Chains A and B, each alone.
Chain A
Amino acid sequence: MSTVVPRLGWAAVAGALAVLPAVVGPYYTNVFVTFAIFAVFSVSLNLLLGYTGLFSFGHAMFFGAGGYGTALALKHVSGLALLPAVGAGVLAAVVLALVLAPIVVRVSGTAFAMLHLAFSQVLYVLALKLRAITGGEDGIGNFPIPPLNIPGVASIPMKDSPQNFYYFAIVLLALSLWLMWFFTKTPFGQVQLAIRENARRTDYLGFKVPQSKAVIYLVSAAFAGVSGSLYGLFHNLVSADGAFGALVSFAPIINIMIGGIGSFMGPVLGTALFLVIEEVTSRFTERVELVIGLIFVLGIMFAPLGVLGTARKLRQKWRADREARASVRRTA
């Protein structure tokens, strides 16, 4: 019985996702794709942040690498198929992580955060300045988007078919989400948590901490790359601002803060909520910075655990109160 209900639940979700474009129309379908992309991006950051305790301000690096990797591959390799193109983006992100890993796994805390801020700035500047490769401020646009080829079965065009792209993206993103979820459930996922709680003890128990951090780092980067790659395909444009800009860097942090850092789905919820906040406030003000700033300041001061975290704390408090009252009654 215990596995039937969740399974029914997931089937319902799958069903809802399948009919979504037909139900909500093209505008909201696109909004949903954006949501899904940023949800996966935020969860990938949370693998570092919530699960391992490594705070990165510059996760946009890997998002951008994914975008540029895919765009450049499609632009320069004629006849490249769709999935390999996404693969190229993921590869770019992973290579970047490999290059940085030796430095970043030996630092923690503030150092880690600031190093990432610095590195992502480097990449932003590089993206702007290396015009010949990256197209500078204008970025790379209008690169060919090949159809999805399932050999022997079908060739599904993507370029001007938002509906097809929706299904493609959702499948890829859902798969990513599931893989990340599974990752946290492996023995290695326990090592992640251990590092977050007590890196020193983890070392004393026989685990290689820097190497473990490196693995997590690579995995997190890979999935950020997936989301970045899809983002580039979605807009058929990759640019410095869109890939490495401040908003892209801050968005996952905001999403994690709003949704709650301590749970897997927290960032997903946070992404949804932030999107709603953005939609609503954009009707009143253009000052995105104000919204972000206020969320950061008020959030960290009054609700640092985010929605899910605060909810969990409240639930624990209620439970503890109930137990306390019950035990008083028993002894009375």
Chain B
Amino acid sequence: MNNILETQGLFHDFSGLQVLSDVNLHIREGERHAVIGPNGAGKTTLFNVVTGTYAPSRGQVFFKGRDVTGLPPNELSRIGMGRSFQITSTFGRLSAFQNIRLAILSKRGIRFSLFRSVDKMLEITHETDAVLERINLTAERDRAANALSYGKHRALEISLALATDPELVLLDEFAAGMSRDETHYAVELVRRLTEGKTVVLIEHDMDVVFSLADRITVLHHGEILATGTPAEIRQNQAVKDAYLGDLEV
């Protein structure tokens, strides 16, 4: 059993404020792993360090066995890591089609192509349309991302992270701001789209966590409090204390 993602002794501080302390994360290949914790626990910072937004103050990140500490996001994307954002971050004035197409172009290594007309690249168009179909955005194909309804915009957001076909995808509160129904729908979407991939998700919604996660890591004040299966975490006293019993679902 391989750890597709590992952090060793990860520390990070912002101008003296210690946000991550000795974080040793082990993500197994193929699993769906949730990272939970109260606000300010350091979850997004962990994501940022892992995905290359910034290099950690101390410690290392290993991806597929290779030390990738401090590599920039674009390089990590190219070696198989994808990431979605809690606050929707798409290409606002471009259409849903153009948004996804960019991911497909990158996946195919077409990043500096200057001599062909992109609209005439039928394979790209077909592949993009296929993705749009899988996320039910075919009707909104030519609508600007900013003009999509919230739920569909979030679907686009998640899909952008997945369209480059990464082996590991990090989803930051993918269901943020969604209603009950929208969340159920989103969970099914994520389950479908991440078949065969490894997923790490930051989540607040315990319904989502327990529906999707194989294992859970609890972060508190920048430290890992516990790691284990949902059942184990439910029983864990330290976790319960930290959350004041909020884990009861």
Contacts and interface: CB of A to CB of B under 8 A. Distances in A.
A adjacent to B, CB under 8 Å:
yes
List of 10 A-B pairs having minimum Cβ-Cβ separation, nearest first: A206-B77, A197-B91, A206-B106, A187-B113, A187-B118, A204-B73, A206-B78, A205-B106, A185-B117, A203-B73
B116 interface: yes
B111 A185 contact: no
Nearest to B145: A197
A212 B112 contact: yes
A186 B118 contact: yes
Nearest to A186: B114
Contacts of A191: 102, 105, 111
Interface stretch (B54-62, B92-100, B226-234): B92-100
Interface string B45-82: 00000010000000000000000000011100110001
Contact of B160 (A183, A190, A201, A215): A201
B164 A205 contact: yes
B89 interface: yes
B89 A185 contact: no
Interface residues of A, number: 26
A327 interface: no
Interface residues of B, number: 37
Contact of A204 (B51, B101, B110, B115): B51
B228 to A, nearest CB: 30
Interface string A153-190: 00000000000000000000000000000110111111
B223 to A, nearest CB: 27
B184 to A, nearest CB: 27
Nearest to A205: B106
A198 B92 contact: yes
B118 A185 contact: yes
A258 B72 CA distance: 39
B121 A198 contact: no
A322 interface: no
A59 B86 CA distance: 38
A208 interface: yes
A190 B74 contact: no
Nearest to B101: A190
Contacts of A183: 114
B160 A205 contact: yes
A177 to B, nearest CB: 16
A97 B83 CA distance: 34
29 contacts: A185-B119, A186-B113, A186-B117, A187-B110, A187-B118, A187-B124, A189-B118, A190-B101, A190-B118, A191-B102, A191-B111, A193-B91, A193-B94, A194-B91, A197-B92, A198-B89, A198-B90, A201-B85, A201-B89, A203-B72, A203-B73, A204-B74, A204-B83, A205-B77, A205-B103, A207-B106, A209-B74, A212-B111, A215-B112
Nearest to B82: A204
A131 interface: no
Contacts of A208: 74, 111
Contact of B164 (A193, A206, A212): A206
Interface in A247-300: none
